[in-house]
Amino acid sequence: MPLITVSDAPVRDAAADVLILPLVPGADEAPATVPGSPEISQAIAGLDASASRGDIHRIPSNGLAAATSLLLVGIGEEDLTAAEEEELRLAFGAATRSLSGVDTAAMALPGGSEQQLAAAVEGAALGAYAFIAHKSDADKAKPALTSLIVLSEDPSAQAAAERAGLLSEVVDITRDLVNTPPNLLYPAEFARRTEQVTEGLPLTVTVLDEKQLAEGGYGGIIGVGQGSARPPRLIRIEYAPEGASSSVSLVGKGITFDTGGISLKPAAGMDDMTSDMTGAATVLAATVGAARLGLDLKVTSYLALAENMPGGGSQRPGDVVTMRNGTTVEVLNTDAEGRMVMADALVDAVADEPDLVVDVATLTGAAMVALGKRTAAVLGTEQGRRTVMEAAGTTGEPFWPLPFPAELRADLTGRVADLRNIGERWGGALTAGVFLAEFVGETEWAHIDIAGPSFASAPLGYMGKGATGMSVRTVLQVLEDRAS
């Protein structure tokens, strides 16, 4: 993440390599003016440049400003006052994402409201991300923007900068983990990195290894991980401030690589399965965020980690496993593994008797069929879904609620066991949620399926290719709303 500072210097005097300004066409197609800088305003007006959202135009400043160049970004509205906050996040995120390899940028939002400025700064901070850990040529690798200067006289700008810095930092925890190749990030290594990123925070981390999992009856996690030479783990992270009157449990799917097991996936696109641990990375990041913010809320998080491989010891289609709560499950498809590890962790989460359980998982391709690759699905109890949707309304992240049709439960009744781990093809995202519901009981609960938006094949706004970190901000917002 970039170092974010605030300055009340005039726009033309900002000491930066690049000056980022919004491009907003008015009714007469003239771009918005830059207060105090008529020369810059006139130069922009003479470009006749497109101001569609995310359109970027970088031009030399030619002495009009202290910055070497101007970067003009379209916000997609004819009037700045009409620009929604998420539009500004996406636009300014696209701007900073284009500046990899640049040291310092300054940004301004002339005429923007307090909320609009906060969103623009947030987007700019989120867009300033680059994963270059495995680039061998340091000279060719382009690091993310190093420093961001927010140009504003608004007293709220400092708080906006601090908020943006924290959010980009926790989102980058998820991005870094998801972008790490699967040969370098396996369950035990994930546990080590969890201890690393939580060091110095008021968090208690407990890691169960494969022996402890077997002794504890975590049949779902053990079954998924038994085909890999790198055994599974279950991580419990507790944030328990004294006197907290409310509690939330989080559960994250952490399949560090998913081949599908014996029910092997097609080779095409399997490399994207390095992202199948995004749920666990999201939960970790949100928990760190809660601790960093000092929320008056107890948070207990579970990261269910396994590598799903087709080794000689792999579970077979037709196997029956006994879950953490004693429920028996017929494993009819070993590629429906996420719900198996999540179910075990949900049993522990519910046993903590929280006021709310939220689970996050790259669970089903069916969610992408229903909602596309940019929108997350939300299922669960009525209040649980509403809680997540309200938080998403604050963060601007795209979520959509899905139902639990009663007739789908019958498809999960096992032939020789209590349950089967798959139903019919139709409504696969819903069936997966119905399966998880069997392990939640009466607890208020939300299930978030981020199979589509967690990993991008094309950039959009503040999200580049690869790990997007989508849903981290919303899960953290759920915790903030509960704490307040």
* CA–CA distance, 357 with 349 (Å, rounded to integer): 7
Active site (catalytic) residues: 265, 339
* CA–CA distance, 264 with 377 (Å, rounded to integer): 25
* CA–CA distance, 40 with 219 (Å, rounded to integer): 65
Residue-wise DSSP of 205-271 = EEEE-HHHHHHHT-HHHHHHHTTSSS--EEEEEEE--TT---EEEEEEEEEEEE--TTSPPPSTTGG
At 241, give phi and psi (nearest 5°).
-65, 145
* CA–CA distance, 234 with 223 (Å, rounded to integer): 13
CA-to-CA dists, residue 35 to 8, 42, 66, 105, 385, angstroms: 13, 12, 16, 19, 44
* CA–CA distance, 362 with 360 (Å, rounded to integer): 7
* CA–CA distance, 351 with 38 (Å, rounded to integer): 64
Contact 232, 224 (CB under 8 A): yes
Residue type, 483: A
User: Is residue 191 exposed (0-12), middle (13-18) or buried (19+ Cβ within 10 Å)?
Assistant: buried
Contact 299, 248 (CB under 8 A): yes
At 254, give phi and psi (nearest 5°).
-130, 60
User: What dihedral angle (degrees, nearest 10) is formed by the CA atoms of 142, 160, 89, 467?
Assistant: 50
CA-based end-to-end distance of the chain: 27
User: What is the dihedral sign for C-alpha 225, 186, 180, 149?
Assistant: positive
Q: Which residues of 144-173 are buried (b: 16+ CB within 10 A; e: fewer)?
A: bbbbbbbbbebeebeebbebbbbbbebbbb
Residue ranges of the binding site for Mn(2+): 253, 258, 276, 335, 337
